[in-house]
Chains A and B, each alone.
Chain A
Amino acid sequence: MNRETELGVQAWMDGELPPTEAASVATLATSDPQAAALLAELKHTRAALAGNELERAVPASREFYWSRIQRELERLENQPAAPRRPVWLSWWMRFLAPAAIVAVLALVLFTPTFAPSSAHRTVHPAEIESPLDDVSVLTFRSEAERMTVVWVNFQ
């Protein structure tokens, strides 16, 4: 007798099998000695447990426990529901907020005012050439006036 059959016998004894299976297990329990032995052992065990289980008294009555559960359920039911988000706010959160972020990004990326200032790169000292020996040059840039000045001195 395998494990499946043992479990089947146990389920039949507990009345948990559907009628079609119950009939075959009942036949087995009468024809198979091992199944019959198992059934007898299970019946003894159940009888032993039913007759000798310790009774423990709870400090409060069954009704008291139920009334506590009921009170808690009622409290939860009567709790005011969380205020629903207004429609306009919901619409804002779903569409306008991402759109606003996109707009700000576009503004930052594509507006020259926010773009990294090219003023610092207006003059490249390495690219300034002066082919004459008798000419000295002073170059400076005024950030405030946004002006690059190349001052040429003839000596």
Chain B
Amino acid sequence: MTTVPSRKALRGLATKGWLPACVFLACCCAAGLAGAAQAQAGELNLNAVLIWGTDEAKPKEGSYKELDAKVKKKLCRIFRWKNYFVIKEEKISLAPKIAKRLKLSSKCELELKYADDDTVEIKLFGEGRWTKTFKQRIDALKNGELAVLAGDDKDKYDDAWFVVLSVSLP
């Protein structure tokens, strides 16, 4: 025979701290499920931008775009160049265990892959040569961190190139 808990019994349950404990457990479960879902999703949408840093004004020829104001502001606070123009912008969706190559220019390529569940490995190829590898935490990228590869422009004195990698917002 089943018994229906009385109102008084339920109130007693609530007032004796069981309800908060249940709420807490529910929070833990929800967070755990959310974390598991996030971990299993795996797909990482990245945005790679090849940028030209210069003190010169925007050339009339060419199809250079203005860099996103927020990113430009960040770069301006660190680097000395006044202008930053977008040479090429690429979006890439990265899945676990699959490396993806991204050609930003004839001289600049990136290879991206998951190093592990928490880290993305970024390989820079300059003029076809493997130049540099570094690893960036995915959670940092998801929290707005920018991964920037940069160097002096070999063709144009006093200018620089930048590759800014970020998580692209949906």
Using CB atoms and an 8 Å cutoff, list the residues of chain A in contact with chain B: 94-95, 98-99, 101-102, 105-106, 109-110, 112, 118-119, 121-124, 127-132, 135, 137, 139, 142, 144-154
Would you call B140 and A118 a contact (CB within 8 A)? yes
* CB of A93, distance to nearest CB on chain B (Å): 9
Would you call A95 and B134 a contact (CB within 8 A)? no
Would you call A147 and B140 a contact (CB within 8 A)? no
Does B135 reach chain A (CB closer than 8 Å)? yes
Would you call B150 and A152 a contact (CB within 8 A)? yes
Contact among A98, A121, A131, A139 for B134, CB-based, below 8 A? A139
Complex CA gap A131/B126 in Å reads 12
Using CB atoms and an 8 Å cutoff, list the residues of chain B in contact with chain A: 14-15, 17, 19-21, 23-24, 27-28, 31, 74, 77-78, 115, 124, 126, 129-137, 139-140, 143-152, 154
* CB of B146, distance to nearest CB on chain A (Å): 4
Given A128-B134, A131-B130, A154-B126: A98 touches B78 (CB 8 Å cut-off): no
Given A94-B15, A122-B145: A147 touches B78 (CB 8 Å cut-off): yes
Would you call B150 and A95 a contact (CB within 8 A)? no
Hey, which chain B residues are within 8 Å of A94, CB to CB?
A: 14-15, 17
Q: Which residue of A lies closest to B162 (CB)?
A: A149
22 contacts between A and B (CB under 8 A): A94-B17, A95-B20, A99-B23, A106-B31, A112-B139, A112-B143, A119-B140, A123-B135, A127-B133, A128-B134, A130-B133, A131-B130, A131-B131, A135-B131, A145-B78, A146-B146, A150-B148, A151-B150, A152-B131, A152-B132, A154-B151, A154-B154
Would you call A150 and B78 a contact (CB within 8 A)? no
Q: Which residue of A lies closest to B24 (CB)?
A: A102
Hey, which chain A residues are within 8 Å of B154, CB to CB?
A: 154
